[in-house]
Structure 1
């Protein structure tokens, strides 16, 4: 047994491996972690479900084969059946009492924008009294960044899946800083929203009527090759979108073309909302596959972080939203930060964003960390996903497809949580953006979803 050369294998704790390295002894490191505490029985039950393998194959195939196209821009009241006094918000369901500062600020601003209240105090009184109906964006085939508030008069990007026939919506991007989605509602915010409703939305609709549908999957794939990760860095994607739309904007609305093109040019995040709708319509194609343990939505409302799973319908599994760890603007710091908020984690659900940071070395200048950590974050996500995206590829990893298709079972077995990069909203209503950083979802969202999958598994799996 000892006649050959000895080989050292280290498992788990890094301290032992570091000691061996210090002695210049060759070793093989195994990055093993125990499953999440208390999940062993549920993991065994779900893994024994005879439907699981085929169900996950079906779900991930639907997600990967989706072909999202931006087809038009329309007012929310035309496409979402929003009655007066009804507003959508990001994340799982929540009421005014538990709503975070940014969500409260965005709701106040939306009411002022719609003329539903004369001032902020009246809006707050109406919201506290329950005179306003709130519903999650995800319940209406919609996603909204940060607070994600959608009202009747806002214009929505309409994205159609040419493969499976689904449709998803997202509002137009306002830019950074003091904007409604970060909970700001001052005069400059309302003035911008009014211009977006009067000018930007109609011009984009007219331009898309001239250009025809835009292939967002192809555009996103190209943007990844150009250094975007498509959540917090959308500079290349916005430039590509602008190049596609600019001639049609000039043709469709020559008298408004300069101001519209100038607005998009000055907003590097403009593409984010289109990318979110593309990921939403792709993930929705994978919903409602019995036995599938694949995540089809991750979303936050500033208080709760929730996930939805393909095999569990529209049920939400939640835990407390964490405060991102990142870089802050100006004099702001962690004490000013609200817990994580927004539907933009649909990008990570679709295999980009935090899952594609290895494609975007420059992102670390915005969210913190260094390039090696960004690459390591992407590599770790292959351990909890079911596939690699055939179109979304990472040059720095030899054009390997991004990790996609988060599996609740793999999360529980490895103890690894999805990596999310995100903006940070000020916790006080009206503040706006205070920074950007990285955050992980709460463990509880995945363990409760796993338990539900175990309960749904057939009794007799022999």
Structure 2
């Protein structure tokens, strides 16, 4: 479709099939390309209902205001059994609710390793029968306990958790400590060295961090995220600057503690050698912000995107804790060593909470180096951030993107805008091997399954009509 407008100069705006614009370019005719797409099929009636909802505009204004007002502070590090109330046999996982029967290879591997870590079995392989029987074990999403977990996201009672708090209202969120890359539990690996590393983290690293955080005082994670974006991180697959800033804040308390100097040295080396260490602070910081918008009737803002390796799910501010799910997709990206697409599991992890808050794949423009890790090009990264602005409600000026004239990170995914434009949120992510025990096989770019947004829109429309019926 093309339309011509006349002013002092004649130009052409082109939307739809690119061949028209290409032909005009070839003839040196000024042309503006408009990225227009029809609404998602079958959403017209629900869009009309939700867009005209008298509560929507004010509800979304309140939701944005609530999210942007949160200051996420690191206030503690503590075992999951203390801060989440997890009991023996209780396990949390990434993504929407999941049963063992539907669990993917990396999710099974992580659960099997966690069962051995907790002493429920001696050999992780023996945990398959335990979970299949369901006797003495239970599974629940991390989000159900105000927590988030990267990749498989498995949390068991003895694991230590970052504790973040909004000082304004005392709300808290949680995330486990980051193990590093490669063969790690969150990617479904459970070899002896994986379990020994986790035991060391519970025995040594967790208590050291707890003492350091308490001695240092609250650490402003929201401010660190803002600085990271100025320094080339996007806080999902690139966290180098964030990790170094966290290390800067904690190191004085660590080296002046009464702990064994060799333990302190080992902890500092581990954190300094793990560029993703800050990811597990960024994630609960984003969740703390987004949770502030939960329960606002009429709001169409997405407050969670999460994947369990089988399904991709979203939650929306105006529909309480209901999940809208579809099949998780396999990321398109780069693979490690001899691994290829056939080795990759579908998308997995709660780490898309970063994109939900406006960073990660939504702020790829601030971290052009990331394209060498997940594929694509620098122009792709810039275009992606601009495109995400088309499906969001606001910009977060605390998280400015220098290369785009310091525009704020696009924040507040709007279900109606996704359905109206057919533009899906862009996520950059690691890829786990599809078989239990393999670990990481690559990293890439992925989007949610398109059908989950019309499902959320339909639920919002039902609530809108119900309100109208009650008031009428």
* Preserved contact between residue 164 and residue 285 of structure 1 (Cα < 8 Å): no
Aligned to 1:381: 388
Matched, 1:417 2:424: yes
Q: CA distance change for structure 1 residues 129 and 19 in 2, over 3 Å: closer, same or farther?
A: same
Partner secondary structure for residue 64 of structure 1: helix
Structure 2 counterpart of 1:263, from 258, 270, 282:
270
Structure 1 counterpart of 2:223, from 218, 224, 234:
218
Matched, 1:79 2:86: no
Aligned to 1:304: 311
Aligned to 2:183: 178
Aligned to 1:111: 115
- In 1, Cα distance between the equivalents of 2:237 and 2:446? 13
- In 1, Cα distance between the equivalents of 2:196 and 2:374? 29
* Mapping of residues 421-436 of structure 1, within 5 Å: 421-436=428-443
- In 1, Cα distance between the equivalents of 2:34 and 2:406? 25
* Mapping of residues 318-337 of structure 1, within 5 Å: 318-337=325-344
Structure 1 counterpart of 2:286, from 279, 284, 301:
279
* Mapping of residues 29-428 of structure 1, within 5 Å: 29-131=33-135, 132-252=137-257, 253=259, 255=261, 256-428=263-435
Matched, 1:447 2:454: yes
Partner secondary structure for residue 256 of structure 2: helix
Deviation by residue 1:110-153 (Cα, 9 ceiling, x = unmatched): 00000011212321100011121000000000000000000000
- In 2, Cα distance between the equivalents of 1:4 and 1:327? 48
- In 2, Cα distance between the equivalents of 1:361 and 1:76? 36
* Preserved contact between residue 102 and residue 430 of structure 1 (Cα < 8 Å): yes
Superposed displacement of residue 254, structure 1: 5.3
Partner secondary structure for residue 468 of structure 2: coil
Aligned to 2:463: 456
* Preserved contact between residue 66 and residue 164 of structure 1 (Cα < 8 Å): no
Residue segments in structure 2 that go unaligned for 5+ positions in a row: none
* Preserved contact between residue 106 and residue 184 of structure 1 (Cα < 8 Å): yes
Deviation by residue 1:56-82 (Cα, 9 ceiling, x = unmatched): 010111111100000010000001111
Partner secondary structure for residue 289 of structure 1: coil
* Preserved contact between residue 220 and residue 392 of structure 1 (Cα < 8 Å): yes
Deviation by residue 1:337-362 (Cα, 9 ceiling, x = unmatched): 00000000000011100001000011
* Preserved contact between residue 166 and residue 284 of structure 1 (Cα < 8 Å): no
* Preserved contact between residue 11 and residue 29 of structure 2 (Cα < 8 Å): no
- In 2, Cα distance between the equivalents of 1:165 and 1:197? 26
Superposed displacement of residue 10, structure 1: 1.4
After TM superposition, the structure 1 stretch with the greater mean CA deviation from structure 2, 247-256 or 323-332, is: 247-256
- In 2, Cα distance between the equivalents of 1:2 and 1:52? 37
* Preserved contact between residue 65 and residue 163 of structure 1 (Cα < 8 Å): no
Superposed displacement of residue 277, structure 1: 0.7
- In 2, Cα distance between the equivalents of 1:117 and 1:281? 35
Partner secondary structure for residue 443 of structure 1: coil
Deviation by residue 1:353-373 (Cα, 9 ceiling, x = unmatched): 000100001101110111110
Superposed displacement of residue 6, structure 1: 4.0
- In 1, Cα distance between the equivalents of 2:318 and 2:206? 37
- In 2, Cα distance between the equivalents of 1:92 and 1:346? 13
Calculate the TM-score normalised by the size of structure 2: 0.96
- In 2, Cα distance between the equivalents of 1:11 and 1:337? 36
* Preserved contact between residue 355 and residue 361 of structure 2 (Cα < 8 Å): yes
- In 1, Cα distance between the equivalents of 2:305 and 2:13? 37
- In 2, Cα distance between the equivalents of 1:6 and 1:177? 56
* Preserved contact between residue 68 and residue 281 of structure 1 (Cα < 8 Å): yes
- In 1, Cα distance between the equivalents of 2:7 and 2:61? 46
Q: CA distance change for structure 1 residues 22 and 277 in 2, over 3 Å: closer, same or farther?
A: same
Superposed displacement of residue 29, structure 1: 2.5
